Amino acid sequence: MNKPGLLDRRQVLTGVGGAIAIAATPLPAFASQEDLDRARRELFGDRLIQEGRVTVKLPPIAENGFSVPLNVSVESPMVADDYVKRVAILSPRNPLPNIAQFHFTPQSGKAVVATRIRMSGTQAIQAVAEMNDGSLWSGSMETVVTLAACVVL
């Protein structure tokens, strides 16, 4: 017999189980290396990507994943017949593999860009650059993202 106002054992167990299930489920399914590869194929197709010419700079340790300084530079003279068209920034561990895409022109003068990004955990950020001749180059860097002492969200 159920007393009004009191929870029976089943209700309590379902409630507790549900709460645990919610607490244990990270909201987004996090991306993986396969997701990064897929995102890269969507941007650049199956063309060959060579390592080099692209330098990714991140701090060795990021004290908060909400705002990590990122600097990407690509070796290029940035003149009308030899320049960087675009650079894609990709993550193997964020909820989404795409972070940003930067579009340059010969008037950019140099292919260097800096911004601040979100990183959900320690990972290697990859940058892929497409030159005006269609060739693709990449570089990457890993950063350790630490966990804050008192997480209050």
Partner 1 sequence: MIRASLLLCVFAISACQEAAQPSQQSALTIEEIRSGYTFLTAETQALQDDPFANPGLLWVDRGAELFQSTIAGEASCASCHEEGLHGVAATYPAVDESSGVLLNLEGRINQCRTQHQSLDALAYESEELLALTAYIFNQSHGLPANVDISGPAEAAYQRGYDYFQTRRGQFNLSCQHCHTENWGKQLRGDTISQGHGNGFPAYRLEWQSLGSLQRRLRDCDTGVRAEPLPFGDPRYIDVELYLAARSQGLALESPAVRR
Partner 2 sequence: MASIRLAVPKTAQSGDIIEIKALIQHEMESGFRRGSRGEVIPRDIIVRFECSFEGVQIFAADFHPAIAANPLLTFHMRAEKSGRLLFEWTDQNGETWRDSADLEVI
Interface residues with partner 1 (CB under 8 A)? 23-24, 59, 61-64, 66-67, 69, 146-152
What token pair was written down for 16? Answer: 């507790």
CA–CA dist 111, 88 (Å, integer): 13
Q: Which is nearer to partner 1, 48 or 150 (CB)?
A: 150
- Residue 38 binding: pick among partner 2, partner 1, none (C-beta 5-8 Å cut-off by kind): none
Residue 150, interface with partner 2 (CB under 8 A)? no
- Decide: helix, strand or coil at residue 61: strand
Q: Which does 151 bind (CB under 5 to 8 A by kind): partner 1, partner 2, none?
A: partner 1
- Provide the sign of the torsion angle of the four alpha carbons 17, 23, 28, 29, taken in this order: negative
- Distance of alpha carbon 117 from alpha carbon 119, whole angstroms: 7
Beta bridge partners of residue 145, listed in sequence order: 62
State which of positions 56-85 bind partner 2 (CB under 8 A): 66-68, 78
The residues that touch partner 2, with contacts defined as CB under 8 A, are 22, 27-28, 66-68, 78, 91, 94-96, 98-110, 112-119, 153
